[in-house]
Structure 1
Amino acid sequence: MSEATASRPVGVIVSVDLDRYAQVVEAARRVGLVVTSEQPVLGTLSGTITEDRLPALQALDGVEAVDREHIIHLPPPDSPVQ
């Protein structure tokens, strides 16, 4: 992986242990996650983190899953292809 790729931020959605939600959010911030949204009732949060910090985020105690965001671009409503 090149240095440019390693430092590129990626969007992620993180599922965490509900019983330790606040602690896991703080730990995620310490490893480099820039939190953009918190959903404590669902046990998830979203944010961005550099590629090279993903393993540290995934290894945190209380993190159940880390999924990359997938952005899907749809054609405009007036487009001939729907």
Structure 2
Amino acid sequence: TGHAIYHDNVVLAGKTGTAEIKQSQSDTTGTELGWFTVMTTDEKQPILMTTVVEDVKNRGGSGYVVEHTKLPLDLYLSQVSD
């Protein structure tokens, strides 16, 4: 899921997750909260970014969050690499 955030010029590590918010184990009408945390492994360019999006059920789960994290991370990385 996190591969969509790949960059040629920086090594990144990431973790995705989805939390189910429902009344019981058998509840099929609950919603989902998706999150994605990404960080660099380079101490010269330390970055840690966490994004959380409510209601990602049927929208791609944490993959939806990764896609929405890509643009701000791309913009930031383009500024620090200049």
Q: What band does the TM-score fall into relative to the shorter chain? A: under 0.3
Higher relative contact order (CA 8 A, sep 6+): 1
TM-score by length of 2: 0.20
